[in-house]
């Protein structure tokens, strides 16, 4: 049916439907002329969001590279999609749009219309990059590695992932004029010393140029590239044939240094390698600034749509589920994404109550929400994006993002629900939390989480008047095991020790690993009386002592290990957390000095230790 064949009421509803959608929608005739567009599209045009064309860019090569032009859908194509970079003069930035176009042909196959929609996906792209880099940064930072050691470990890991690469990190001096050798474990020492302190500028090799311009500088062949004219002899004498250098930038775009990849043969990076180098440079920049980027969870698209037959093509190309219901809660439309998310085909849900997609108690309450709206006109759920639980066809529950909008059709309200599956975001959030607060090897809380647990335990002690205790312990002669049998055997022992420790304490007590072979046990809700609390802590410590000195089976090798344990009692916040940990640490080292395989208590009155008998 042609647009001019629609009845006035149908055409008005179609226009109203399009205007209710937050994404830009348009209809072109066969000559490419816009014959219908919604408010979002018109506002975007009014805001001077215009496509970039090469003819308008003159000699600006940087802008040329930002342009991505894709032809309109042809009559023999079902659906054409492409991404397009455009300049938004109101926001003062480039934005990336996802363009969907569908050619509608007549019975003879001749194109009548091109129906299209435009969605700004800039934020999603940027968010995905942030999530990936923040996860990797948190994983490195969770180990509490010192700055220089962190950079060294990062470079070793990068070189391991890309065999043949020789990495170099150079940092700018305080004046921002010279590059200083910082980390390059695989480069010849003589070469590193020769380039230490080199002034940045154009044609100063790859790194000097990258630091000067703030741009990626890829040199595939040092011997012939003019950027290396004054330094080629030095590099070639050390068998360095190519150098790809990426500027290390601060979060505000200031050049901090360079991250370079050398090879001993002429070559250019693949897209994967280039992305890895850029990601590495970004992470190193964050470390240098001492800034941890906290995960910004996705702000899902809030696209409000109603589905009717002549607009279903647009809806079915959306990544999010779009569901429309009437005032009684009956489902009137259910797009392809909704089918994928919930596991139902449209035929299975159309004209049934939307409560079938909700778990209890929400399913039973939903009709009440609609009746309340019908009688009062109040609709608290409209226009308030929120996270709720969805119910799939197979009975499984999942977190979903829901946004509801309302339009009127023939005077009756129609509700448009936009849903997206938030399972991946939840998994990412849990992974970030795990990396930030738990030890990767044993799964025990790390130092950061332990400090928080001790603080809470002190507050609980202040309210209840009950004592608590902190135990420091490490494994006697652990280094011998690592040296004689390898670190993998040491890791097995640490994992078994952590399991035994957890079996020795109550559910409300805590076990943490500080690093290496050092563990901490936090006991809460001991007696009000110091003497009784001492006896209770001593009982647990002796239990741990006895349990940990039982033989271990390490991949068929029987190993005996004993701990040295230092204990410090606490009541409320009479001392600081640092002093409490210091007391337990002192007692532990005194236990080692006393011959190991023993328990000593810190005696605050004597400023010394007490033997646990």
- In a shared domain, residues 443 and 463: yes
Q: How far apart are CA 519 and CA 474, in angstroms?
A: 6
Least confident of 55-69, 514-528, 580-594: 55-69
- In a shared domain, residues 102 and 211: no
In a domain, 296, yes or no: no
Q: How far apart are CA 402 and CA 365, in angstroms?
A: 16
Residue 153: helix, strand or coil by DSSP? helix
Is the pLDDT at 11 greater than 70? The verdict is: no
Report the Cα 483 to chain-centroid distance in Å: 37
Write down which residue in 120, 149, 168 finishes a domain: 120
Q: What is the mean pLDDT of the chain?
A: 80
In a domain, 294, yes or no: no
- The CATH number that applies at residue 154 is 3.30.450.40
- In the chain, how many domains are there? 4
Token pair for 41: 């599209």
Backbone dihedral angles phi then psi of residue 246, each to the nearest 5 degrees? -115, 130
E strands present in 57-195: 80-88, 93-105, 111-120, 166-172, 178-183
- In a shared domain, residues 457 and 587: yes
- The CATH number that applies at residue 320 is 3.30.450.20
- In a shared domain, residues 482 and 532: yes
Q: How far apart are CA 352 and CA 338, in angstroms?
A: 15
What pLDDT does 140 receive?
64
Mean pLDDT to the nearest integer, 96-109 = 81
What pLDDT does 315 receive?
61
Q: In this structure, is the dihedral angle defined by the CA atoms of residues 505, 507, 508 and 514, taken in order, positive or negative? A: positive
Is the pLDDT at 228 greater than 90? The verdict is: yes
- The CATH number that applies at residue 603 is 3.30.70.270
Question: Are 125 and 119 contacting, i.e. CB atoms less than 8 angstroms apart?
Answer: no
- In a shared domain, residues 283 and 316: no
- In a shared domain, residues 373 and 326: yes
Instruction: Give the pTM.
Output: 0.39
- In a shared domain, residues 443 and 505: yes
In a domain, 16, yes or no: yes
The boundaries of the domain holding residue 461 are 438-611
- In a shared domain, residues 132 and 37: no
Could you report how far apart the first and last alpha carbons of the chain are, in Å? 94
* pLDDT tens by residue, 233-286: 999 999 999 999 999 998 888 999 999 999 999 999 888 788 888 888 888 887
In a domain, 386, yes or no: yes
* pLDDT tens by residue, 342-354: 889 988 988 888 8
Write down which residue in 238, 260, 289 finishes a domain: 289
In a domain, 542, yes or no: yes
- In a shared domain, residues 506 and 584: yes
- In a shared domain, residues 376 and 522: no
Is the pLDDT at 130 greater than 70? The verdict is: no
Mean pLDDT to the nearest integer, 457-484 = 93
Non-local (6+) Cβ contacts of 460 within 8 A are: 466, 468, 524, 525
In a domain, 216, yes or no: yes
In a domain, 460, yes or no: yes
In a domain, 297, yes or no: no
- In a shared domain, residues 172 and 26: no
- In a shared domain, residues 200 and 345: no
């Amino acid at each position: 049916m042609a647009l001019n064949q629609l009845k006035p009421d149908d055409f008005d509803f179609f226009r109203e439907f399009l205007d209710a959608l937050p994404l830009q929608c348009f209809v072109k005739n066969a000559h490419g002329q816009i014959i219908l567009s919604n408010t979002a599209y018109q506002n975007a045009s009014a805001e001077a969001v215009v496509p970039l064309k090469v003819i308008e860019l003159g000699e600006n090569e940087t802008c040329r590279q930002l342009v991505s032009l894709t032809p309109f859908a042809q009559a023999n194509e079902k659906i054409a999609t492409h991404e397009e970079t455009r300049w938004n003069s109101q926001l003062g930035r480039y934005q990336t749009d996802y363009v969907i176009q569908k050619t509608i042909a007549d019975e003879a196959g001749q194109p009548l219309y091109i129906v299209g929609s435009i969605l700004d996906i800039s934020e999603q792209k940027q968010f995905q990059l942030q999530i990936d880099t923040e996860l990797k940064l948190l994983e490195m930072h969770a180990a509490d590695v010192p700055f220089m050691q962190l950079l060294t470990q990062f470079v070793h890991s990068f070189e391991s992932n890309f065999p043949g690469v020789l990495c170099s990190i150079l940092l700018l001096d305080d004046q921002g004029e010279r590059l200083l050798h910082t980390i390059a474990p695989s480069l010849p020492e003589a070469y590193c010393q020769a380039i230490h302190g080199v002034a940045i500028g154009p044609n100063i090799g790859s790194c000097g140029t990258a630091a000067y311009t703030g741009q990626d500088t890829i040199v595939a062949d040092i011997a012939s590239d003019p950027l290396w004219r004054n330094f080629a002899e030095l590099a070639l004498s050390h068998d360095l044939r190519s150098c790809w250098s990426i500027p290390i930038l601060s979060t505000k775009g200031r050049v901090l240094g360079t991250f370079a990849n050398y090879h001993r043969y002429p070559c250019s990076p693949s897209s994967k390698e280039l992305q890895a180098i850029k990601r590495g440079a970004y992470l190193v920049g964050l470390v240098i600034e001492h800034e941890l980027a906290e995960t910004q969870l996705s702000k899902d698209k809030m696209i409000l749509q109603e589905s009717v037959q002549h607009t279903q093509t647009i809806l079915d190309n959306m990544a999010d589920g779009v569901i429309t219901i009437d005032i009684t809660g009956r489902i009137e439309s259910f797009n392809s994404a909704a089918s994928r998310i919930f596991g139902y085909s449209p035929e299975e849900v159309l004209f049934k109550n939307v409560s079938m997609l909700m778990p209890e108690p929400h399913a039973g309450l939903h009709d009440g929400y609609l009746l309340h709206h019908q009688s009062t006109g109040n609709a608290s759920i409209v226009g308030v994006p929120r996270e709720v639980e969805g119910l799939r066809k197979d009975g499984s529950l999942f977190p979903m993002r829901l946004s509801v909008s309302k339009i009127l059709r023939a005077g009756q309200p129609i509700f448009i629900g936009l849903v997206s599956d938030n399972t991946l975001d939840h998994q990412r959030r849990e992974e970030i939390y795990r990396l930030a607060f738990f030890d990767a090897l044993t799964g025990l809380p790390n130092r950061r989480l332990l400090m928080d647990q001790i603080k809470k335990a002190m507050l609980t002690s202040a309210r209840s008047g009950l004592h608590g205790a902190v135990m420091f312990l490490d494994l006697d002669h652990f280094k011998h095991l690592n040296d004689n049998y390898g670190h993998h055997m040491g890791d097995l022992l640490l994992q078994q020790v952590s399991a035994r420790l957890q079996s020795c304490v109550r559910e409300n007590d805590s076990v943490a690993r500080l690093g290496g072979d050092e563990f901490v046990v936090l006991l809460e809700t001991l007696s009000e009386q110091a003497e009784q609390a001492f006896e209770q802590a001593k009982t647990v410590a002796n239990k741990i002592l006895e349990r940990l000195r039982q033989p271990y089976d390490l991949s068929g090798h029987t190993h005996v290990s004993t701990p040295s344990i230092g204990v410090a009692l606490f009541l409320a916040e009479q001392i600081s957390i640092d002093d409490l940990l210091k007391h337990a640490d002192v007692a532990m080292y005194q236990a080692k000095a006393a011959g190991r395989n023993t328990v000593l208590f810190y005696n605050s009155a004597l400023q010394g230790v007490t033997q646990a008998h």
